[in-house]
Structure 1
Amino acid sequence: MSASYAQVLCLPHARRTFAAALTGRLSYGIVPLSVLLAVARASGSYAVAGVVMALFSATSVFLSPARATLIDRHGPRRALLPMAAVYTALLGLLTVIVWRPGAASPLVLGAVTAAAGACTPPLGPTMRAVWARLAPERALVQRAYSLDGVAEELLFVSGPLLVGVIVGFAPPAFGILVGAALIAFGTAAFVSSPAVRDVRPGDGAAKPGGTGRRPVLRGIRRPVIAAAGVGLALGVAELLVVAFAEGHGHGGDSAAWVLAALSAGSAVGGLLNGAVAWRTPARVRLPLLVAGLGPALLGAALAPGLGTLTAAMAVTGFFVAPAITTAYLIADETASPEARVRAGAWVNTAVNAGGTAGAALAGLLIGPLATGWCFAAVAAVTLLAAVAAARGATRDGGAPGGVGDGGAAVAERRQSSSPSLSS
């Protein structure tokens, strides 16, 4: 193994930049649940809270590529700071609105949360672009992406736990304030890091006649499809686990342990994936990793009890982080230099959109079908996503700058590019 996690953290300014990004990204694990609880308390209706959260999630997820485009064109300092400022201000306004129960109008709540979601700073895609700029070789990029993915997984697990602690002594609206403070401090520290501060605004902007939006979308079609398949599997699995636990006479705490096994398996798989010096190209590994979810979900479909389901979910998680990390690697290697943040944002959007679609699909399937058949159905969809990614890999295997060269194009691009975020 030519690279280690210690080497990743020893890259110039890596620890400071990564710590700042993680601080801001912890907000993503705290704010959604805090908003849901605060809106439900203020409006007295979980229906209103659900609609408000749907608006928040929709604008946050589906406008992520547009926000990433601003970063590619104007640089992180000029784009991230205004986003964080507006996002923090809107969260502060939302806190004031929901602080007293019964004082909030559903229309106002929906408008403010939708606007806040539209301004969410994309620290994750930007941090991955910074990793690609800092790391001098592909092995370190792979290791950095794996470390980043596992850390993000832990943030999304610990965020709701922190909200549980907060609501034990303060109103849920206080959690929104905590999330706003984290994103403000984390973003300011992130853009002040030399690894980000030295990026010249506009160096990564698309040039007239150069690579624009359509070539970016063509180059990342395979990882986007694969990421959507993984996200859909996760979205379905979360609801099915809850339904399975209740159907077998267990409470919500039992379902939480099963989902914790899914996260633990994902963390282990992500760390092992980053530790291997792969000789197989990423374009070949990606469909295999996505396909690995299929048999694991079929195991969940055949699970007779909660213990077996927990084991099946741990195996399922083992493929999740490696598949998403590999999708990010392919997007980074395939995208043109001026669109690296945008490419990562499309993969991130695909995961989140797939998760939202999966949750909706699970809601439709749980009534008419037994949970076992639901797990089998999502396994089949996941295998179809793997086939689609494999077909794309076969067509694009010899494309210049693709990932079939084991990353040589990336190394060459880093040596010859200008010193911008995209270099």
Structure 2
Amino acid sequence: MSASSSVRPSYAAVLRVPHARHTFAAALTGRSSYAVVPLSVMLAVTRSSGSYAVAGAVMALFGATAVFLSPARAALVDRHGPRRALVPMTAGHVLLLGLLAAALSRPDAFPAPALGALAAAAGACVPPLGPTMRAVWTRLAPDPALLQRAYSLDGVAEELLFVTGPLLVGVLVGFAPPAAGIVVGAALMAVGTAGFLSSPALRAASTGAGAVRRGGGGLRGLGRPVAAIAGVGLALGVVDLLVVAFAERHGHGTGGAGVAWVLAALSAGSAVGGLLNGAVSWRTPPAARLPALTAGLGLTLCGAALAPGLGTLAAAVAVAGFFVSPALTTAYLVADEVAAPQARVRAGAWINTAVNAGCTAGTAVAGALAGRLPVGTCFALTGAAVLATSALVAGAARRGRGTPRKGTPGEGAEGTGTPGEGTPTRDTGELVPLA
């Protein structure tokens, strides 16, 4: 099921792997709910309560439980297998979204605390389809070159979901109440998860659950990619807000088309960078590439500080985006390398949590700085922070080169990518920071 390492595999080769198209398409269908539900909830709460403050609080609760409980949900998948873990999660998530949609169908029918509790509970049950799909890719495409392309394709496709999802919501609210978007998102999750779990590629993951329970945590060394991607997330959160501030101070308004075009340039640059990154046969290992990609993002943000106008800023942001998807893909590859086979879903979930937490922190930091400093200075400070993170991760990687990798003699896990194979590793299960 893998291409030969002597032949450069293509993206088409990834999709020709047995069961890949079915599994990937179903996972993307379910993951599209991630891009539909949050905006629908925000619009529905705003219309129902008539308060932006209530909408913000409800969304904060939904986002907090969805993001920060992601590693815990992924641990359940690692421990019990996708089928036993994802079915109850999906059922609970869909049911709670249905209750939330019903509660928001009538104005002021439910008090704000009740809406917040429903949203928090729904977020706590979000199935980790992205990390689970990436763990499945390691079994479908065990060859490193093919796995790199699979991860790149996965990352770019997920990014496109977050472009098309809001567009779908925009179409829906043109003829239906915003709560209908919540129902559509729940349906996408239910259909996608059902299709994903019906794939023959999930059989091995389900049968390996017993060994998963016996194994250790297997997350030693994950601190490096988590730190690097937290820096990337910080940059993304800062850029989103600083673009709005830049447009306002240059006379374009806070909600004009200029802001949308700059943010679209960021997504376009990320998609192009992700596809090119996946197509290159790299000679350097992912652990060495990750700090370089992070440094590239930091340098371009420093360059964005010199942008004299919105057009120049769009070009600089597009170049910055060129490093975003490759950095994420490379972080997933590093996480796959350092994680024990029985902890791969959790490792991917930690990468997701890092980028989302970094993005949230970046937005808060940008909000505090933009009111006190010139926008160019804020861009430069952000770039410097990302460069500092890159240097820290690079230094930690150099210090850790002597540490045996999983799959080497004495580590116990075979390098096949199938959870449960081999004997348990000697990892302690702790998320060790950087070293």
TM (normalized to structure 1)?
Answer: 0.94
Residue of structure 1 equivalent to 2:348: 344
Residue of structure 2 equivalent to 1:44: 50
Aligned pair count reads 413
Residue of structure 2 equivalent to 1:240: 242
User: How far off is 1:203 after superposition?
Assistant: 2.8
For the Cα contact (< 8 Å) 2:79–2:213, is it kept in 1? Answer: no
User: How far off is 1:417 after superposition?
Assistant: 6.9
Q: Which moved more, 1:1-10 or 1:140-149?
A: 1-10
User: How far off is 1:306 after superposition?
Assistant: 0.4
Tell me whether 1:82 sits opposite 2:88 in the alignment.
Answer: yes
Residue of structure 2 equivalent to 1:57: 63
Residues 393, 235 of structure 1: alpha-carbon distance in 2 compared, 3 angstrom cutoff: same
Residue of structure 2 equivalent to 1:119: 125
Residue of structure 2 equivalent to 1:300: 304
Distance in 1 of aligned mates of 2:361 and 2:376: 19
Residues 322, 179 of structure 1: alpha-carbon distance in 2 compared, 3 angstrom cutoff: same
Residue of structure 1 equivalent to 2:147: 141
For the Cα contact (< 8 Å) 2:139–2:417, is it kept in 1? Answer: no
Distance in 2 of aligned mates of 1:417 and 1:74: 11
The superposition leaves residues 162-187 of structure 1 with CA deviations (integer Å, 9 ceiling, x where unpaired) of 11111111111100000000000000
Residue of structure 2 equivalent to 1:327: 331
User: How far off is 1:197 after superposition?
Assistant: 3.3
Aligned to 1:414, the other structure's residue is in SS state coil
The superposition leaves residues 107-129 of structure 1 with CA deviations (integer Å, 9 ceiling, x where unpaired) of 00000000000000000000000
Residues 377, 402 of structure 1: alpha-carbon distance in 2 compared, 3 angstrom cutoff: farther
Distance in 2 of aligned mates of 1:201 and 1:136: 18
User: How far off is 1:204 after superposition?
Assistant: 6.2
Unaligned stretches of 5+ residues in structure 2: 1-6, 425-435
What's the Cα RMSD here?
A: 2.0
Unaligned stretches of 5+ residues in structure 1: none
TM (normalized to structure 2)?
Answer: 0.91
- Identity in percent: 68
Distance in 2 of aligned mates of 1:126 and 1:301: 38
User: How far off is 1:385 after superposition?
Assistant: 1.1
For the Cα contact (< 8 Å) 2:86–2:127, is it kept in 1? Answer: yes
Residue of structure 2 equivalent to 1:395: 399
The superposition leaves residues 370-413 of structure 1 with CA deviations (integer Å, 9 ceiling, x where unpaired) of 1111111111110111012101211222322269x9xxx99951
Residues 417, 262 of structure 1: alpha-carbon distance in 2 compared, 3 angstrom cutoff: closer
Residues 194, 362 of structure 1: alpha-carbon distance in 2 compared, 3 angstrom cutoff: same
Which of the two has greater helix per residue? 1
Query: Letter of the aligned partner of 1:399 in structure 2?
Result: T
The superposition leaves residues 18-43 of structure 1 with CA deviations (integer Å, 9 ceiling, x where unpaired) of 00000000000010000001011111
For the Cα contact (< 8 Å) 1:136–1:411, is it kept in 2? Answer: no
Q: Which residue, 365, 371, 375 being the options, matches 1:367?
A: 371
Aligned to 1:89, the other structure's residue is in SS state helix
For the Cα contact (< 8 Å) 2:31–2:129, is it kept in 1? Answer: yes
Q: Which residue, 96, 104, 107 being the options, matches 2:102?
A: 96
Q: Which residue, 276, 282, 307 being the options, matches 1:278?
A: 282
For the Cα contact (< 8 Å) 2:62–2:122, is it kept in 1? Answer: yes
The superposition leaves residues 273-317 of structure 1 with CA deviations (integer Å, 9 ceiling, x where unpaired) of 000110011111000000001121112111000000000000000
Tell me whether 1:31 sits opposite 2:33 in the alignment.
Answer: no
